[in-house]
Amino acid sequence: MFSGPHGGSSSRNVIPALTAGAVRTVFRPLRPTGLQLRVIRAAADSVGAVRNPRGARVEPVRIGSMTGTWVSATGNGSRTLTGAVLYLHGGGFVLGSSRSHFGLVKRLSAASGMPVLVPDYRLAPEAGFPVALDDALAAYRCLIAEGYSPDRIRLAGDSAGGYLVAALLAELRRQQLPVPAGALLMSPLLDLDIARAERTRDPVIPLAFGNECISAFLGETAASDPRVDVLAADKRGWPPVLIQVGSTECLLPEAKAMADSLTAAGVPCELQIWPGQVHVFQVMARVLPVARIALTQGGAFLRTTVGTAQSSIVERDARPGRNIA
């Protein structure tokens, strides 16, 4: 069991609320198509671009037909075969890249003590399902080809990337391939059945925009397709999973459903519910202490997981020493 977060609460809710309002205002009138999508993509990459990679080594790579980036903030910046994290970025399947997520990935590398590979998987609507999943599998195979044994590989992802992590684990089991040592899901989008999903208003992302992103990703593929429906997937044999989700997110019910499904399958799982936090609050680690705490705990999980953790649901409290089960 990880220790609870510490620190005052003055910024714990104010900063996420202000950020959420700004993001929601920007996204409300937009649609994930055409010129608007190109502008959103460029803006996301620009905001996250590597301007000062102090403390990190950044190495562009080719992963088959994909580009990608190694980010190492492990002290000496070097890569060894002792362990690596495969990070699948969020962005609603339609935007995001290794550039947009540099800051988050750098902190995760430092927290885990491992280099992180971020593939630029192909995006919707240009590439619908299962292209992004196939790209994720190709990146995983690439790590193994480089000499990383599966038990030295960890998976991590946020939002839509969290979905791809779960889908990749299901695909590995479906193909009877070796699974990694563990997986970290941050604010994962897990239910692509728009009609079924128990979602109400989210403080960050307008639901109409999110639903359009899901539709663009699925294309002609049904949400009930066995390769799509990760909540219904057979989870026997999955590695330990840590799920971090904010208490204000519309994705909280499906995070709970995933945790229940994993526990029922005998998979070690911890669900951390962070009070007052919004979708992927970890990206605010530069200004939000609780986000840094969450990343520290996520990194510790990735660094130490060996398949012996016990399943639990924990509601995190920002007051010193508080864990509310």
Question: Known catalytic residues?
Answer: 159
3-state class of 284 per DSSP? Answer: helix
d(CA 291, CA 276): 12
Tokens of 80: 């060894």
* Residues 80-99: b if buried by 16+ CB within 10 A, e if exposed: eeebbbbbbbbbbbbbbbbb
Strand 116-119 and strand 66-72: the pairing is antiparallel
d(CA 312, CA 151): 23
Amino acid, single-letter form, for residue 171:
E
Query: Are the beta carbons of 318 and 273 closer than 8 angstroms?
Result: no
- Cis before 16? omega within 30: no
d(CA 108, CA 111): 5
Query: Are the beta carbons of 301 and 271 closer than 8 angstroms?
Result: no
